[in-house]
Amino acid sequence: MSEGVPVIRMAANSLDFYYGSFKALTGVNISVPNRKVTALIGPSGCGKSTFLRCLNRMNDEIVGTKVVGKVSLDGDDIYARGVSLTDLRKRVGMVFQRPNPFPMSIFDNITYGPRIHGENKKDKLQEIAETSLKKAALWDEVKDSLKKSAQDLSGGQQQRLCIARVLAVEPEVLLMDEPCSALDPNSTFRIEELMSELKHKYTIVIVTHNMQQAARVSEQTGFFLKGELVEVGETAKIFNQPDDQRTDDYIRGRFG
Amino acid sequence: MPQENSTTEYIPGRPSSLQGKKNAGLGDKVFRNITLLFSLVVVLLIVWIGVQLFKESSITRHLTGISILSSSVWDVQHQQYGALPFIIGTLVTSALALLIAVPMGLGAALFLTEIAPRWISTPVSFIIELIAAVPSVIFGLWGFQVVCPFLQDHVNPWLIAHFGSLPIFAPPATLTNMLAAGLILAIMILPFITSVSREVIKTVPGSQREAALGMGATKWETVRDVVLKGAKSGIVGAVMLALGRAIGETMAVVMVIGNNPHIVKSLLQPGYTMPSLLANEFNEAANEPIQRSALLEIAFILFIITLIINASARLLILWGNRQATGGNSSSEKIAAKLEVVKKFGFPIVIGAVCLYQIVADVSSKGIGGLLGPIELVLVLFGLSRWMTKVCRKDNKLWNRWRAANHNAMYVLFSGFAAIACILLFALVYYVAIQGFRALNPNFFLNDGSKPPDDPTGGMKNGIIGTLMLVGMGSAVGIPIGLMGGIFVAEFGKGKFGAYIRFAADVLNGIPSVVIGMFAYAAFVLPIGHFSAAAGGAALGIMMIPTIMRTTEEMLRMVPTNLREASLGLGATRSRTIISIVLPAARTGIVTGIMLAVARIAGETAPLLFTAFGNQFVSTKVNEPVSSMTMMIYRFATSAYPVWIDLAWAGALVLLIMVLTISIIARLATRNRYALR
Ligand SMILES: Nc1ncnc2c1ncn2[C@@H]1O[C@H](COP(=O)(O)OP(=O)(O)OP(=O)(O)O)[C@@H](O)[C@H]1O
Ligand SMILES: [Mg+2]
């Protein structure tokens, strides 16, 4: 891989998505570059979460949904027959809008992923817990209370815990659905910092309603409207001189 | 909580410039205090039941003292009253029932919530909820006539052949025995455990399932580590409530356990439980002050036991809800202790039992004995442990192994659900087949006084009696329950309301047989004869807590903005409740009442001691009357085919009655939800 040429990690090709008979996504084409942050913006209900959940097949858990088109990870179709969902989700991890720690201790939360994926040595798990918590910038706050219930943490800490929990399974792609929407400005700032750290190792796709956030953290931005991906391109371009009038309207707050 | 807003907006000390008439709030106060009085009835009843039973059993307490709990000799002739065989029998059958029903019910609940598609889970859940309303006397009849002979022919010999060396399966086996009682009890509490577990499992937030799945957990791993963990305290609470039910269950047990007042080691031998003793010996004891007092003391013991179990179950559920929102160090300590038991206690005990059985197999059958079921299970278990260990080393194998585990568990849960459905279907099927065969117009036209060789007997007296008793019970239970429910929903937000709610739940858990003995002691003994009125009172008491709690729930579901709209127009609180809130909740409340009616229509045990029964049609309130349930019980346990047929016909008619009421009630609320 030569410098400056982004390798495509994930890609969607003419992707349609249905909830029953309702078509939530129409003809989405997008490439997700390696070790970059891709931000998805758009008004509420336009299908951002739906699209994000297509990338690790979380939508498979909802009955009556249908996917048409192709989504690939490193060139392999993730909707192909015989794809192991557990493997896929191990490689494409997800952080949800609301922090959702398990009702277990902090330590058990972090090591849950490694344990189901076959790791059972105590010291190895300890090590994983420490490195993931450090990566998620939570280690200093919780290192003395790893046995405490994860649900006793503050909202911002819980969200960083959920990030650490995903990092512990060493994913290649990290999907984040409005990870800061339930958090205060300070926690938001810490998570943004974290993202700029993480992008050196991970490929990140983030959904956000916060335009400044998209501008601050991402290299590439996609704008969704009514189930369509209107425009996608370099973040600076999307925010300064978008090609599409609708994008321009949205960025300037003329609707949505 | 939205409701709390309405309180704070209603009661504030408004500036005095707006003060109205002096007695403006009086109407509300009167209304509140009247409902308060009705809600206090539940507390009063619990105390009264305890005191009355304690007082009326003083003769035996003076005679035997505390040794009633430790003596195992029950000899009425020699005035020896030791309750140990009954206490043990009660505990053993209940434990056996839970051992069978909890894994099956939980598995079925997981199947319904996590595996089954909508078009299966919706109707099956509905049917299982319906079956929970089937009167226990019908379970008893089916158990005695169908299940016991089946066990005798097919199961008992197999158990003796393979496990006969264990004392609990030692031969000889009798037709009615502890195993049959445990099994029937298990089938009876199965729908209850399934539907309560289902409710609890549904409360585990979907976001937690997604978190686990999103990390690459299989669905089974998600269920095991997240769903079951999150629902744990709720499930434990449900199991304790089921235990309370099993311990107090009378009719399903008395007909199949064999009623033998000695302690037996083998489950294949007849035993006795406390409730079945009450049902069985009551008639001869009614005129013997000492024996009567002994039975009342048994009822008192049963009251205390179920009180403790139910109170702790409720506390556990409350505690679990609180724990779900924040950790608790004392719970962690308990969990750590349980972990030790799990790690060492169980394996040692189970290992010892297995070893014993293997040794016995080998010594009796030689090497061929090693092909028995216990050995098979052990080999499978060892194999699975070994596979886990091997597969862990290789990523690909490990994923295959996880997928295999997932599939195995899904098959297991689906199997449990299927078995539960088949058992419950078998019950309805037999009642329908036998009932339709035996049913003819005489059933409705004649009473039950015909001799056992005359096939023209009927249950006219029972049908009329049941209608009468249910009517009187409703007259007592509905107003009290309704008013009490209004109090806890509308005025009971603080601690006090919580106490009343707790008391209602505890009263709800007191076995019907205990309430029957109480009604006997309180209403029959002082008057000197059995009466329909006493039976109606017993049934009424049973209705109060159910109606109170459903009324409360339904009132709470009325949206806050509806109340606020009325209050905002200047209506008083009581006016708002009466003309806005109650009508809005009407369908739900009526449903609750209908379900309570269906439940008491199927009650037997409390009537045996109060309404007593009557061979002829009677409509007098102060005379004994019969009921369909009592007639089914007495005919079913007779030796005459004609009477047994009559019992089947009665069971069918009763079943249709109860199911019709429940179906109408449930469909009514269903539509209501759909409209929203
Ligand atoms: N489980 C579902 N079943 C049916 N329709 C759904 C479901 N989830 C989402 N939708 C519909 O799909 C469309 C896209 O929803 P989606 O959640 O992807 O929007 P979004 O862009 O993430 O919105 P927001 O910014 O509010 O989170 C919406 O019209 C929504 O109503
Ligand atoms: Mg969204």
A62 CB within 8 Å of a chain B CB: no
Nearest CA to ligand 1 atom 25: A44
Ligand 1 pocket mutation, candidates A22, A50, A60, A225, criterion most atoms within 8 A of CB: A50
Residue of B nearest to A85 (CA): B216
Average pLDDT over residues B257-275: 94
Test A86 with B216 for CB contact under 8 angstroms.
yes
Q: Which of B219-228, B238-247, B308-317 has the lowest mean pLDDT?
A: B308-317
Q: Which helix (H) or strand (E) holds A15?
A: strand A8-19
Q: What DSSP string runs through B95-145? A: HHHHHHHHHHHHHHHHIIIIIS-HHHHHHHHHHHHHHTTS-HHHHHHHIII
- Assess: ipTM above 0.85: no
Q: Between these two residues, B229 and B477, which has the higher pLDDT value?
A: B477
Q: How many residues does chain B have?
A: 676
Residue B323: pLDDT above 80?
Answer: no
* Section A239-256 average pLDDT: 85
Which of A192-206, B294-308, B654-668 has the highest mean predicted lDDT (pLDDT)? B294-308
B84 Cβ contact list (under 8 Å, min separation 6):
B69, B70, B71, B72, B263
Interatomic CA distance for residues B136 and B189, integer angstroms: 10
The residue whose CA is least distant from atom 30 of ligand 1 is A45
Joined tokens for residue B628: 């369909």
User: What are the counts of helices (DSSP H) followed by strands (DSSP E) for chain A?
Assistant: 10, 10
Contact at CB, B216 and A90, closer than 8 angstroms: yes
Give pLDDT tens digits for B532-556: 999 999 999 999 999 999 999 999 9
Spell out which chain B residues touch chain A, with contact meaning CB-CB distance below 8 angstroms. 117-118, 205, 207-218, 221, 225-226, 229-230, 324-327, 332, 391-392, 395, 398-399, 402-403
Cα–Cα distances in angstroms (integers) from residue A167 to residues A102, A116, A125, B227, B457, in the given order: 16, 14, 13, 22, 77
The ligand 1 atom at the shortest distance from the C-alpha of residue A62 is 1
Whether B11 has a pLDDT exceeding 70, the answer reads no
CA angle, B77 then B247 then B505, to 5°:
125
pLDDT, mean over chain A: 90
Residue carrying structure tokens 């939800």: B673
Find residue A229's DSSP bridge partners. A224
Task: For chain B, give the percent of residues with pLDDT over 70.
Answer: 93
Is any ligand 1 atom within 6 A of the Cβ of residue A59?
A: no
Q: How far is the CA of A9 from the centre of ligand 1 (A)?
A: 25
Ligand lying closest to the C-alpha of residue A44: 1
- Which of A90, A98, A149 minimises the CB distance to B215? A90
Look at residue B193 and tell me whether its pLDDT is greater than 90: yes
- Distance between CA atoms of residues A97 and B339, nearest Å: 34
Q: How many CA atoms lie within 13 A of A72 on its CB side?
A: 14
What are the tokens at B96? 């056996």
| Residue from B119, B200, B215 to probe the interface with A (highest A Cβ count within 10 Å) | B215
B488, HSE (Cβ side, Cα atoms, 13 Å): 30
The stretch B330-358 carries a mean pLDDT of: 78
pLDDT recorded at residue A137: 85
pLDDT of residue B23: 61
Query: How large is the average pLDDT for residues B567-583?
Result: 84
**Sequence-distant contacts of A239-247: CB under 8 A, at least 24 apart:** A239/A211, A239/A214, A239/A215, A247/A223
Question: What secondary structure does DSSP assign to B48-63, as a single string?
Answer: HHHHHHHHHTHHHHHH
Nearest to A149 among B214, B225, B326 (CB): B326
CB A63 within 8 A of CB A19: no
Calpha distance B632→B433 (Å, rounded): 16
Which atom, in ligand 1's list, is nearest to the CA of A50? 18
> Would you place residue A27 in the very low, low, confident or very high pLDDT band (cuts 50, 70, 90)?
very high
A47 Cα to the center of ligand 1, angstroms = 6
Summarised one tens digit per residue, pLDDT across range A49-65 is 999 999 999 898 888 89
Contacts of B230 in chain A (CB under 8 A): 102-103
Which residues have C-beta under 5 Å from ligand 2, the single-atom ion?
Answer: A 49
Q: Give per-residue pLDDT as tens, B456-502.
A: 999 999 999 999 999 999 999 999 999 999 999 999 888 899 999 99
Number of CB atoms found within 10 A of residue B213's CB: 23
The residue-averaged pLDDT of B389-394 equals: 88
Chain centroid, CA B196 distance in Å? 11
Q: Is B41 helix (H, G, I), strand (E, B) or coil?
A: helix
Q: Is A166 within 8 Å of B218 when comparing Cβ atoms?
A: no
pLDDT at A255 over 60: no
Which chain A residue's Cα is nearest to B233?
A: A103
Spatial strand order of the sheet with A228-234 comes to A92-95, A173-177, A203-207, A37-41, A220-225, A228-234
- Going by C-alpha positions, the residue among B463, B459, B553 that lies closest to residue B505 is B553
Amino acid B138 reads: I
How confident is the prediction for chain B on average, in pLDDT?
Answer: 88
The predicted pLDDT at position A5 comes to 43
For ligand 1, say whether the CB of A19 is within 6 Å of any of its atoms. Answer: yes
pLDDT in tens, B68-92: 888 889 988 888 899 999 999 999 9
User: Would you say residue B605 has pLDDT above 50?
Assistant: yes
Segment A72-90 shows an average pLDDT of 89
- The angle formed by the CA atoms of residues B44, B306 and B490, to the nearest 5 degrees, is 45
CB-CB under 8 Å, A90 with B211:
no
Residue A4 falls in which region: left (phi positive, over 0), alpha (psi -120 to 50) or beta: left
Confidence of residue B675 (pLDDT cuts 50, 70, 90): very low
Cβ–ligand 1 contact at A50 (below 6 Å): yes
Q: Is residue B4 over pLDDT 60?
A: no
